[in-house]
Structure 1
Amino acid sequence: MSTATLPEGNWIRGISIRQPYAACILAAAKTVENRPARWRPGWVLLHTSKTIDQPALRIPLIGRTIHGRQLVTGAVAGVARITDCHQDPEGAPPCTKWAHPGAWRPVLADVQEFPLPLPARGQVAPWNPSPDLVTQVLRQLPDFRP
């Protein structure tokens, strides 16, 4: 894919997610992320933070989902598209078994995992990737079309 075919502007952002939650998203099992603020729809790079939530490894839902998967840290490991961001109405049941009460939930779709994670630095809030990182991403997914 050439840069001439890419959308104009900041068409993709990065989001950092702790392991094992990132692995659950990359396995296409966890379709929402839990955040304190609303996020806008669009394409995101899925960056795995450098820390692993050790207690989460003992949660049966997570253990079943990540069984046999490597927990890569400190790398961009895939892409996804945020299609919506919502909170559950007060007193309503959670939208999925992955939802945390009171959190904003960006809904993730079209998840694509990279064959080779790309070492990179991230941050908690959505961040803008460098043009070089975007080029490396597009090399990983030659059929990806935003």
Structure 2
Amino acid sequence: MKALTVRQPWAGAIVHQTKRVENRTWQLPAKQHGARILIHAGAQLDKNAKIYGPNLGVYGAIVGVATLTGCHAADADGTCCGPWGFPDVYHWQLDDVTALVKPVPCKGALGFWNPTADVLAAVTEQMEA
């Protein structure tokens, strides 16, 4: 299972609110359509974000799991995906989102990355509980 690092507050909004679109400048690779991924809260806050919410104290940890169900180019003003979509990017659609009860600390990376076996084991243990 791959992981994707998302800066806060967006990682928290994905796993604890209604954010079901991830804005990226690159198109979702075809092999990732339908894939289950880990959501990693990055080590830094997105300083341009103007929202606050739960799980913002969590940085540098896997905070949830989601399924990538699609990707499309945003419309000119980004409104095609409600309040979470940005203009002039790709909108990756997320579904079946589950927050972890206990975040799993680990270092993230750019793009899709492979978590270590112990990180995957800790996530799997929570998902099976």
TM-score scaled to structure 1, two decimals?
A: 0.77
Provide the rounded CA distance (Å) in 2 between the counterparts of 1:92 and 1:75: 29
Opposite residue 53 of structure 1, the aligned amino acid is: D
> 1:96 Cα deviation (Å)?
2.0
Provide the rounded CA distance (Å) in 1 between the counterparts of 2:70 and 2:38: 16
Provide the rounded CA distance (Å) in 2 between the counterparts of 1:85 and 1:100: 13
Question: Percent identity among equivalent residues?
Answer: 32
Counting matched residue pairs gives 124
Structure 2 unmatched runs, 5+: none
Aligned to 2:55: 70
**Who wins on radius of gyration, i.e. which is larger?**
1
Report the aligned-residue RMSD: 1.8
Provide the rounded CA distance (Å) in 1 between the counterparts of 2:77 and 2:39: 31
1:47 is aligned to 2:47:
no
Structure with the largest fraction of strand: 2
Aligned to 1:19: 8
TM-score scaled to structure 2, two decimals?
A: 0.86
Structure 1 unmatched runs, 5+: 1-11
Provide the rounded CA distance (Å) in 1 between the counterparts of 2:86 and 2:122: 33
> 1:93 Cα deviation (Å)?
4.1
Provide the rounded CA distance (Å) in 1 between the counterparts of 2:11 and 2:77: 28
**Is the partner of 2:122 in helix, strand or coil?**
helix
